[in-house]
Chain A
């Protein structure tokens, strides 16, 4: 299973991103500042944007989905029950997991954006996907919820998980790092060897690297363990 970007050029209005590389099975983190083209690339990775030049193709992938940054665009049901069912899932289990037990007849638009994101991510993460692309999965969530989602991502059954984010505080354990720099997608390589090349590394990681300490991974417990080594 893999997603291949073969010298691809993806455009959106006057904006262009060049990408070359292959996303194999595992969790990939694509980091980049706001406006660097993460959403455009996320759409391209799932085949929802055609590259202007080059090729983007999937190999051995049967099921895939994309979670967009703003969950309201995904709504197709008029109640929470209908919305959960639209993902092919049984409502009761998801309602219980997200803390909306007994509220299945509620209008999804009556939820706050953070609540809606929680529900949406619960639906997306419950599916069996060969490829799961998450565009800013942590935006609109509080710190506790971010940590919970990061933990859930680490235990996913999906074959390839690609996380596009500008997040700087909470991360799941990842296998490979990528970074969007000046319109290019750079494959930084496997974690933790790629940490020193990460230009937009979070402040805590940068501080640890400056002190010569390399954490095993990006999850909170890994960073905490590295801090204890100081």
Chain B
């Protein structure tokens, strides 16, 4: 999905549908498969890690008497949709979206925050790789002994980078708002995907069990 407006819209609808009911989650999963979601998680080890964590929490919920399986299905689908949305993201498109939605003042501010945040998320991957190398060399690969310094380095470096970025923006004359011309690629598949997401949301709210009872 190339148009960020359709992607964000679809992501929101699919997330709500998944959260509301299991049929909604299943429908969202089918939508995700049809949108080529597999290719977006195939190479990402993080998807597996996050789903693993959700699995662990679900197991605890199940053991403590809750509906762990339902939680696992819904949260996993939400994560898969999030990975799909993130994989299609490209620099500058949130600026397009927010300026289109809220104009050159508030929209620009929101877009700038979103772009800076996404830039930081993207750089985390490289940071983690470098930290892992350093920990391996000091033979501290696993456990809390490795995790704590890694988290500390990540937080400090990102705070320091944010400070540098803020200084740079001020030096380059940024006060508030700005000028941005949003542009969106035209694609009929995006429209089809958006309509599909609406249908998924409808499935989530339709009491499917009642329909089957009526049919019988």
Contacts and interface: CB of A to CB of B under 8 A. Distances in A.
A81 interface: no
B66 interface: no
A68 B134 contact: yes
B138 A73 contact: no
B134 A74 contact: yes
Interface stretch (B54-62, B98-106, B149-157, B177-185): B149-157
B137 A76 contact: no
A48 B133 contact: yes
A65 B136 CA distance: 10
A76 B134 CA distance: 9
Given A73-B127, A73-B153, A68 B133 contact: yes
Contacts of A86: 138
A76 B140 CA distance: 9
Contact of B149 (A46, A66, A76): A76
B136 A48 contact: yes
A4 interface: no
Contact of A76 (B130, B133, B138): B138
A133 to B, nearest CB: 10
Q: Which 9 A-B pairs have the closest CB atoms?
A: A76-B149, A73-B130, A74-B134, A73-B134, A109-B156, A73-B131, A65-B137, A48-B133, A75-B153
Given A46-B137, A68-B134, A72-B157, 9 more contacts: A48-B136, A73-B130, A73-B134, A73-B153, A74-B134, A74-B138, A75-B134, A75-B149, A76-B149
30 contacts: A43-B133, A48-B133, A48-B136, A65-B137, A66-B137, A68-B130, A68-B133, A68-B134, A70-B130, A72-B153, A72-B156, A73-B131, A73-B133, A73-B134, A73-B153, A74-B134, A74-B137, A74-B138, A75-B134, A75-B152, A75-B153, A76-B135, A76-B138, A76-B140, A76-B149, A77-B149, A78-B152, A86-B138, A87-B138, A109-B156
